[in-house]
Chain A
Amino acid sequence: MKATDNQIKNLERVEKKTTGIRPVRWLREKTRRVPALGWLLGALTATIIESSVGLPLARAFGLWSVPGLFGLRFIFTSPASIPSAVIYVLVVYIIPALIVAVSTAGITNRAAAFMQDKLPVPINVIIHAALLYATLHVWGSITDYRVLLLSFIFISIMLTLSLNLVNGYMGEFSCSHPGFMSIGAYAASIMTVLFFVNDDVFGAHILSPVLGPFIFPIILIVGGFITSIGALAVAIPSFRTRGDYLAIISLAFTFIVKSLLENLEIIGGPRGFMNQPKYASLPVIFVWMVLCIWTIYNFTRSTLGKASCAVRDNETGADAMTINTRRTKMITFLFAAFWAGVAGGLFAHVMGYINPATFGVLKLSEVLAMVYLGGLNSVLGSIAGAIGLQFLLELLRPLAMLKWIVIPVLLIIVMIRRPTGLIAFTEIKVEDILKPRN
């Protein structure tokens, strides 16, 4: 049965290959052999071209400046510029990237094969991540706007992934993420301001500000642990109840944290807390994001991750199969809270200012939307959801208020078509992404 299925699939694939327009077929044939390494190289070339000759090229095509988001926003702002933007994107991004990716396919395949055989997976991943970062860094170096956008996307990815642990892998409906995030944000901010900044409230800096960026990771980790301790308030009730009641408990937790922060005058109360040094530069956030994806990816494939899936599907059954459900729930919750706290700490140090109102119901809707848009039970889905929604938010910014009608409508359509999200319950092994393709 299985064999015939596969044969049919193969036949279909062959048929697909032989049909289609000729140039497309040719392109598909060529690009099929390009490994991830080759694509990264191509993208890097494209961004380097943009950063060196982007502005003159854009002017030559009749654009006022380099289009921020591949010119996609021209659809709403100035439709007349669309042709120039298309030419720009073709000349600067697509054609160079394709040429480099296809022409170096031989070399990159050999390199990918070498890295796969000779190097351990973590180092292989690090090399790819470094290339990805280089690409994004060059892409972001053109405007501060892009840097900020990338920072928010990275932080959103961390938040979405950690919420997916609780809502997807453990099957709860937790609304506590804004609370977790705000605890982490405030904890980290208080520490950095106390140690490294001359502040009106917290006095002169205790340690030399030169040390700041080096101690910042430790502060983030401590902030994450403080968030985990706060998360006990949600994790312990989760032993006895789940589903809707846990949703309420977690919602109440969010409200309590927000209200508590509003009442603590020493950290600014409802006015907010400022003066955070901007330690969270793009590379810092990127490294944390990679760490976050890495640990959560490993967590989901570990015994504990599988145990939490078992708890989701049938708690009694999981208990009967000797899974310690309390321990599983506790660890998953605290682990998710830790990453939410770190994301919050990074968020505070990107903005340089936080206030309790940021971490309210709106933030909750945003994070939930990212998780359910991307897909439950999938690291890849969460990444896609976070990038997708943030990108959409930026893209539709010219629509002003109307974007809050367009995005919900899109999400409702996605939910009706695919109730568990776009890429739910599927996972691509990282080795499969990085492998050579010849």
Chain B
Amino acid sequence: MSLNAFLQNLANALQWGSFYALIALGYSMVYGILMLFNFAHGDIFMVGAYIGLFVSTSLVTLSATGILPMAGWLILVLTIFISMFLTSFVGMAVERVAYRPLRAAPRASAAITGLMVGIILETGNLALLGAQRRKFPEIIAQSTFHIGQVVVTNTKILIIILSILLMIALHQFIRRTRWGMAMRAMAYDFVVVPLMGVSINRIAAMTFAIGSALAAAAGIFFGIAYPVLEPYMGLLIGWKAFVAAILGGRGSIVGAALAGFLLGFIEIFVAAIFPSTLRDLIAYSIILIILTIRPHGFFGEAYSARLRL
């Protein structure tokens, strides 16, 4: 592989990996605090993408009809914020319906309710909007840059930068704010911290809200990069991001982000070197080998008796 091809694939991998990383963060945060996986998260990503679609379409038409003229970047920023805000409520609703009643139950039962909520979201979308694919509007005019012989679009750079900014923001939020401290404390000890006056329900709802907001951002970025949306789009990406979250180590934010990018790299480079049909096969084989050698992921703690099973 020549250097140019390598750099070209690197740009693709960064973009693809940022989707995984943003979604994996949601899995990992929920895991860190409640010790269970939100299997509906992939579908929350899908819902976020659809909400982004509607918000951006209405903003674009609003702008185009001249009622409220807006610049492209403003539309994009507004779309991201409004969709993140709206999708966070979807996340909180999922927590309320599927996870809160089952907090004392075996974790596998909560996994089942999560799966079922995911199916409800998919089918609900299918029933409401029909099976046809939807096209994401072009918010910003696409332009291409040539750096040497590497072709990069402006949206690709934008997506990568915005994703990394969001991740840094999340990291700072968790490190520096009182809410973040409460979340870290809850992740550290699930039993004692509520006794110190921290409401687990509130923290759990907030965790779901933040995770869903990040998923919504990922959904919009996905819509910008691959402007075709369908109700089952969250299924495959969601499960893969779940794998990335595990690979990073359970509950580790940095690990999830890194593993998300790693998964993106593996997939893009496998597809570049081998026939693309072998992508999943080789990617998952690598993951299987990594997990067999390092069963707790990159940053995860070893299996502890604390695990509520």
Please report A residues at the B interface, Cβ cutoff 8 Å.
167, 171, 173, 233, 236-237, 240-245, 248-249, 251-253, 255-256, 258-260, 262-263, 361, 365, 368-369, 372, 376, 401-402, 404-405, 407-409, 411-412, 415-416, 419-420
Contacts and interface: CB of A to CB of B under 8 A. Distances in A.
7 contacts: A248-B291, A249-B291, A252-B291, A256-B280, A404-B123, A411-B113, A415-B113
Interface stretch (B103-111, B159-167, B203-211, B215-223): B103-111
A243 to B, nearest CB: 6
B123 A401 contact: yes
Interface residues of A: mostly helix, strand, loop or mixed? helix
A401 B231 CA distance: 13
Contacts of B31: 244
Contact of B123 (A237, A249, A402): A402
A365 B115 CA distance: 7
Contact of B307 (A240, A243, A255, A404): A243
Contact size range, B: 35 or more
Interface in B109-128: 109-113, 115-117, 119-120, 122-124, 126-127
B284 A237 contact: no
Given A167-B108, A256-B281, 16 more contacts: A171-B309, A233-B288, A237-B291, A241-B303, A249-B288, A252-B284, A252-B291, A259-B281, A263-B277, A361-B235, A361-B236, A376-B106, A376-B108, A404-B120, A411-B116, A420-B105
Contacts of B101: 416
B287 interface: yes
B246 A248 contact: yes
A245 B284 contact: no
Given A244-B37, A244-B250, A245-B246, A411 B112 contact: yes
A260 B281 contact: yes
Nearest to A364: B115
A255 B284 contact: yes
Nearest to A404: B123
A245 B243 contact: no
A372 B291 contact: no
A256 B284 contact: yes
Nearest to B246: A248
A240 B284 CA distance: 19
Contacts of A171: 309
A263 B288 CA distance: 19
A148 to B, nearest CB: 24
A251 B239 contact: yes
Contact of A401 (B126, B285, B292): B126
A237 B280 contact: no
A121 B295 CA distance: 46
Interface in B170-190: none
A251 B108 CA distance: 15
Given A404-B123, A411-B113, A240 B288 contact: no
Nearest to B282: A259
A245 B295 contact: yes
Given A256-B281, A416-B113, A409 B239 contact: no
Contacts of A361: 235-236, 239
B115 A243 contact: no
Contacts of B112: 368-369, 372, 411, 415
Interface in B22-68: 31, 37
A405 B125 CA distance: 11
A412 B111 CA distance: 11
B246 A409 contact: no
Contact of B127 (A233, A258, A402, A416): A402
Contact of B115 (A167, A251, A368): A368
A262 B277 contact: yes
Interface in B269-304: 277-281, 284-285, 287-288, 291-292, 295-297, 303
Contact of A405 (B102, B127, B292): B127
B123 A405 contact: yes
Interface in B72-119: 97-98, 101-102, 105-113, 115-117, 119
Given A372-B112, A415-B113, A419-B109, A237 B281 contact: no
